[in-house]
Structure 1
Amino acid sequence: MKILKICLAIVVLVLAFYFRTPLLASLRPFVFWGIIVFSLGLIAVEIPVLKDNSITRQSLISFLILTVTAFSMSATVAREVKFNSTKNAVLSQEAKKLEHLGQHFIIGYRDFDEIKTLVSKRAIGGIFITARNIKHKTKEDIKKEIKSLQAIRASQGLLPLWIATDQEGGIVSRLSPPLTQLPPLSTFVEGKGKIEVNKKVVVEYARIHGQELSELGVNLNFAPVVDLNKGVINPKDKYSKIYQRAISADKNVVAKVGLWYCQTLEIYRVNCTIKHFPGLGGVYADTHLQHADLNTSVQDLTREDWVPFREVMSNSGGFTMLGHVKLTGVDRDTPVSFSKQVVTGIIRNSWQYDGILITDDFSMEPVYGSGDGLEGATVKAMNAGVDLILIAYDTDLYYSAMNALLNAEVGGKLDREMLSKSQKRLDSGLQGLRG
């Protein structure tokens, strides 16, 4: 019985350290109360053993269990208090301050009332809608919710929110159903001879996405994937699965299909998002859960992987999503999504690109578990020339990230010129949605 209690105390201790990590975002309330209830239960059971004041093996074990359990419960409560303090600090800021920095965040959610509060306080620039947000809802229900948020923005005299989703087709079709479930784009282009022959099919595919998303009120789609298919298959890859999502192994095919897709979406005033720069086709690790390096030289990437990115970036108004892999030939220490050497040095300065850059989800391990941590990565991304930070999976992370920007601005650690340029890019993009 004592062994079972010791094991339970260790489990509670581990959960106390990890319950605020993104991996437990969907279970966090249950884990929190589970830790409290089990801790109190263990304490109640073990205290009587110590009452006889005799030092025995049993009493020493009980003392150890009590110590570990009390520490776990205290650490859990302290972390929860810290989170709520940070949340309140953000929400109590003046609307102008929140609006100024909040425009750089697109946030996923589990609680619509929470996201409505953030919109009301001008604290975010957009929302991310995924499968969990549309369960048991009709198209009309989804449309109504989006309209209610945009109505708040309009009443504030602000430009519209970015309403984003992940509707690639194939295995990543977050709004299907109720939207049409389409196969991956690769179905229509691989091994079909001259790609121009299939242009009508690709355009029709994009038309379905563009029209259906526009009718809902979605104005930003995280598609297409323009990573090259290099046939890399990792049996432990739970989420990335680029080999199933990539359009083709041929850079020219991907460039043409990606551009046709983006230009078609624009007809419906839906922005596309090409992803995941600098190209994840040759990356073995799943960057949702692991740190990863891309050791390909800049010269080779320029000849191959970056061809589709450059083509779409030069000929459409689409966004570019920055992945969390480290481009070791340029910056061995920092993932691309917040690397100044890559974002400022290559994309902004060398390529002279002035379009909108958005990060992949900052809930992912290479960011959250980096040496900079979520807060440091957020500040670095803004100073590097990134426009939008995506926090899709774990809404709670927004408050720490936003608080980091607020503190950095007060401390003079945010590049004002970068922020000013970013605001102009975002304003221009949103004005385009109004026609």
Structure 2
Amino acid sequence: MSKKLTFFIVIIIALVLMSGCFPTIQEEKTENPPPQQNNDEENTEDINEEIKEDPIKKQIEKMTIDEKIGLLVIVGLDGYAIDDDSKSLIEEYYVGGFILFGRNVKNTNSLLQLINSLKSTNKNNKIPLFISIDEEGGRVSRVPKEFMKVPTNRKIGQINNKELSFEIGNVIGEKIRALGFNLNFAPVMDIDSNPLNPVIGDRSFGSDERIVSQLGIETMKGLQNSGVIPVVKHFPGHGDTFLDSHISLPTVDKDLNSLQQFELIPFKEAIDNNADAVMIAHILYSRIDSENPATLSKTIITEVLRNQMNFEGVVITDDMTMGAIIENYDIGDAAVKSVNAGSDIILVCHGYDNAIKVIKDLKSAVEGGIISIEKIDESLYRILQLKHKYDLKDEVIDSIDVWKINSQIEKILNEIQ
């Protein structure tokens, strides 16, 4: 037999053997059919997803209209102790929180007792209170005089140390949290670009937008680290004004592009670093919205802050009893307009009657279809989400170790020197 013939016979035998060992493609399909998609299982999963309820949405669904409206308002009070007006605001109007000032502070024990009284009075309500304060450091400090002061933001900006800014934010947070506060209207993210500005000045970290951004963010993170909610302010920037919005309505003649290149930079950086809340300023930006100050401007709050800058947190107005508002608007109308513009919380720092008017006018606007209930529920969702995030509780605090807090502040002061 020739070698070629032998080779071909071997090849033929090998092919025959292989065909016996492996099924054809058709046989493979027959013997090993792919698993059929179980439509029943898929439908069940979809139904289960629908059944799973968001606990915050479920909480909102159970609220009355009065409870919903009250939670959109943070109010001030007079004196060193809780009074009938404050009790009414909690028990009848379900306010979302309080802001305390120097007028409420006699000493540490008195302040602690006041805050404990507010929380105890709110015990029958389902949602814990925001207990808020303006504690920026420097000249804007509301805490009792027993506490040592931290430097101004301007001084911190001159040192320009990120770790120091974090430490100061953290110790401010530790100090006010020990007193029972859970929300701080700080840090100031305004750029001190106008030497004639009567209201910002040394409250700002400086005139350089990069320094303001970096140090403001670190202070914000320090507050968050301490368990206190920071509210960055005053969006979209109060640094280049000639008037004090506490007295009258300032006007800034800048377009949006100019703001984006300067004033908005610190706020954008803060948002990108998980800012929880933003305070809106009472300033008229005439080239962006010629009719409405930022607090009442849908263009500035919804289109710029929400849509363009992607802020998903809580929007809080500056005090609606400031001259910029009450000298030019009815406070109730202004509150309604602000909510429709995109604000979540209306801040009413002075006057029981002012607080009641805001609450009643908001309710009337919802009942009259001027504000949609969907808008109210959206704001409530953000507010409750924030309270859940920081695990707020109306727990009373028995005592405070002032010496411990002062030791932390003294250490920071020594580092600066």
Higher relative contact order (CA 8 A, sep 6+): 2
Look up the equivalent residue of 2:376 and give its one-letter code: L
Taking the TM superposition and a 5 Å limit, the aligned residue runs for 1:300-319 are 300-319=258-277
- 2:119 alignment partner in structure 1: 150
Provide the rounded CA distance (Å) in 1 between the counterparts of 2:135 and 2:232.
Answer: 12
Name the CA distance, whole Å, in 2 between partners of 1:212 and 1:400. Answer: 34
Partner of 1:70: none
2:145 aligned with 1:177:
yes
Letter of the structure 1 residue corresponding to residue 350 of structure 2: Y
- In the alignment, the residues of structure 1 paired with residue 232 and residue 241 of structure 2 have an alpha-carbon distance, to the nearest angstrom, of 17
Cα 1:122/1:268, change in 2 over 3 Å: farther
Matched, 1:110 2:78: yes
Q: Where does residue 212 of structure 2 map in the other structure?
A: 254
Which position in structure 1 is the counterpart of 2:305? 347
CA RMSD of aligned residues (A): 1.7
Q: Give, as a single letter, the amino acid of the residue that structure 1 aligns with 2:145.
A: P
Aligned ranges for residues 8-407 of structure 1 at < 5 Å?
Answer: 96-111=64-79, 112-113=82-83, 114-135=85-106, 137-138=107-108, 140-156=109-125, 158-190=126-158, 192=159, 195=160, 198-233=161-196, 237=198, 240=199, 242-370=200-328, 372-407=329-364
Shift in CA distance, 394/153, structure 1 to aligned 2, threshold 3 Å: closer
Select which of 377, 385, 389 maps to 1:420: 377
> Are residues 1:411 and 2:411 paired?
no
Moved more, 171-180 or 281-290: 171-180
Q: Provide structure 2 residue ranges, at least 5 long, that are not aligned to the other structure.
A: 1-62, 393-417
- Say whether the 8 Å CA contact 2:319–2:349 is kept in structure 1: yes
| Structure 1: distance between partners of 2:280 and 2:236 | 7
Q: Is the 8 A contact 2:210 2:266 kept in 1?
A: yes
Return the TM-score normalized by structure 1.
Answer: 0.72
* Deviation of 1:386 (Å): 0.4
Deviation at 1:363, TM superposition (A): 0.5
Amino acid in the other structure paired with 2:190: D
2:232 and 2:265 map into 1 onto residues whose CA distance is 12
Please give the secondary structure, in 2, of the residue aligned with 1:123.
coil
The CA deviation at 1:174 is 1.4
Q: CA shift at 1:393, angstroms?
A: 2.8
Give 1:122 deviation, angstroms. 4.3
Q: Measure, in 2, the Cα distance between the counterparts of 1:348 and 1:262.
A: 20
Cα distance, 1:230–1:127 mapped onto 2, change above 3 Å: same
> In structure 2, what residue type is equivalent to 1:209?
I
Question: Alpha-carbon deviation of 1:394?
Answer: 3.0
- Letter of the 1:316 partner, please give it: N
> Separation in 2 of the partners of 1:405 and 1:178?
40
CA separation in 1, counterparts of 2:308 and 2:156? Answer: 34
Tell me the CA shift for residue 313 of structure 1. 1.7
Q: How many Å apart are 1:176 and its aligned residue? A: 4.1
- 1:262–1:318 contact (8 Å) kept in structure 2: no
Change in CA separation of 1:257 and 1:338 when aligned onto 2, cut-off 3 Å: same
**Runs (5+) with no aligned partner, structure 1:** 1-94
Q: How many residues align?
A: 327
